[in-house]
Structure 1
Amino acid sequence: MFTDPTGMSKEWIPGADGENRVTYTEDKKGNVTFQNLQEDLKPIFEELVKTDTGKEELLSLINDDSMKVSFHVSDEKKVNYDNNYKKDMPVNGTFHATKLNEDRTAVLEADIYLYKGWIKADYDANKNSDGAYFSQIGKSYFFKDFNLNQLYAGTVGHEIRHRFPNNLKALAPEGTNTEFNPNLIQSKIYDEMLKNKENEKGNRKKRR
């Protein structure tokens, strides 16, 4: 799926119907509805735009005329060799720049891959546990407080953030922690999901 709001690209990648671009509309309350979005991405994008941070990341990408990004969703349990840990490590998502500008200061085209395998396995094993959690930038999050598409959405938000030069190894100065900002974005998305959940509980109590 390629999100191209202008439709100007000669190499534009079609949406779900195989012909037209993916678009979105936003109502006066800020609710976002996607058109021509492939089914495997729809529930993930919908969870993402329920948070302020996720919405900003996703819509800014859709509205970015200078960059083309294709999304790929797989059920694979992806593994990559990690040079820091010197062993194979589970992978939930990747951002792969396929074309840079001549000055090598910006990404022009890229692929974002979401690998569902490990996320789903961990979630299925721990979603009913009161004590099972995962960590993000030093914070602990309980699996039971999320649904599966919310966890996928956090990963997508993380990968979208890699489009900026300082968050991409191919463009960032040597020694830059290119995972800091993407991890921070992912954590903010989870925090906002939890906040929304608490607000919904409060609203239900008021209606009783």
Structure 2
Amino acid sequence: MEQKPAKASRKPRADSARNRELLLQAAREVFSAGGPGASLEGVARKAGVGIGTLYRHFPTRDALFEAVYRGDIDRLADLAEQLSKEAGPVEALRLWLREGVEVVATKKGMMATLALATDGKQDLFAYSHQRLTAAATALLSRAVEAGEIRDDITPEDLLRALVGLCHAPDRPGWRTSVARLVDVLVDGLKRGNG
């Protein structure tokens, strides 16, 4: 009896990959605006696909939240590398922290649901911690080696400061206020300020 060859792993079809990206972008927008009560039907509608397409890609609400969260962590981590090539050390650090604020800003409506979706998922926490710590390490190391910032701050300190700044109450103008505080933080890290 002749054995059939094992199926090779196929890349997703282009329309499937496009639909997945549309769903993730729509989920970011819908969940940010509507919080934990935002409907999956609203996500599918915003993406321009049927609810069945959403469930084929993300079988549960938690799976969709986790994918959005991972995608944002990946984008923020990748941005650190891009900024290292395009901006001076201190400016790269400042721009990266400001983008971190923007990521949090889009999540303000999702925080309660994200907490539930990630509760007990140590692998997700470890993944995000590793990616963000590596990004912060690269940016800080570059600025320290250039002699532009003090060398007594750790990547964990920087991430704690960012998280702390972003806990400002969600009132009109909070982003502007937090961006100003990011500038104060970065300026305080410059050589000669410590």
Q: Please say whether Structure 1 and Structure 2 have the same fold, judged by a TM-score greater than 0.5.
A: no
Output the TM-score relative to the length of structure 1.
Answer: 0.28
Instruction: Specify which structure has the bigger relative contact order, considering alpha-carbon pairs within 8 angstroms and separated by 6 or more residues.
Output: 2
TM-score, normalised relative to structure 2: 0.29
Greater share of residues in helix: 2
- The structure whose residues are more often strand, as a share, is 1
